[in-house]
Amino acid sequence: MRVATWNVNSLAARLDKVLWWLDRAAPDVLLLQETKLADADAPVMALRIAGYELRHHGEGRWNGVAIASRVGIAAVVTNFGEPLPAARTPAVPDDEPFAEARMIAGVCAGITVVGIYAPNGRIVGSPFYRAKLAWYERLGRWLAETQDAGAAVVLGGDFNVAPADADVWDPRRAHGGTHVSGPERDAFTRLCGWGLVDAYRLHHREPDRYTWWDYRAGNFQRNEGMRIDHLLVTRPLAERVVWAEIDREARKGKPIPSDHAPVLIDIDGPGEALDPGWAGADERIALRRQARKAA
């Protein structure tokens, strides 16, 4: 079984890219973030034609999460099982994460999958940052109250946290900002302490592997990014993960792709073979970095 996660940065704008990637990678379950759609506008029929059932939790312009599955979806939960309240400041994203569509869960072929789109946090110490930490506290409490660390659970999505300096292209430049601060990394560590394992790091210890690159200044071409999208699995499931990858190729091409790349894991057996594009890019990335330093 192949499980993947991808922040698509607007499902409406990237639908053709998503359909292309479903054909390319053939995941059994795809967790989607930042769909930026209301539920009524979710492309249910397009996904159905592609062979996937789509369950969507959205609010419109901002946020939005979904599960696409070709192995069924049962027992769907959104927003930690609570009704999504009306936002007090609907024109401002990230300040009211409990009124924003950021969490969806379901059971797919016997595995509980939980898709999240964590708040960005914007500036360390800001109200947005404090809201991000509160949201992570709620996520941890929901896991402890409703899930079993001894069962098969995948927690995946855009965490907006780079858990270690190895997950940032230049830690010195990143320190002092969000995504790498101590409290954010502590929140990630607490999730792992509940009983989750970083599935990508089970199979990859090499540096310079990221899931997000800013659109500006050729950051993708120089591989100046962060690994902030993750698939965490419970320990019993970790023993069944046989492969993990970040598909760099999905971050390329036209129309403009998402600024995130998908993360994939195979459980119990290998899925569709694909070349994620890292080996061919490493030399070009090194040359671009050298040229920038010399300039």
Domain CATH code at residue 76: 3.60.10.10
Q: What range defines the domain where residue 235 resides? A: 2-294
Number of structural domains in the chain: 1
Strand order in the sheet with 103-108: 74-78, 103-108, 111-117, 153-158, 229-234, 196-198
Reading the chain (295 residues) residue by residue, the pLDDT tens digits are 999 999 999 999 999 999 999 999 999 999 999 999 999 999 999 999 999 999 999 998 899 999 999 999 999 999 999 999 988 888 888 889 999 999 999 999 999 999 999 999 999 999 999 999 999 999 999 999 999 999 999 999 999 999 999 999 998 888 889 999 999 999 999 999 999 999 999 999 999 999 999 998 789 999 999 999 999 999 999 999 999 999 999 999 988 899 999 999 999 999 999 999 998 877 777 766 676 666 5
Question: Among candidates 282, 191, 257, 252, which has minimal Cα distance to 10?
Answer: 257
Sign of the torsion angle spanned by Cα atoms 197, 248, 109, 10: positive
Whole-structure pTM value: 0.96
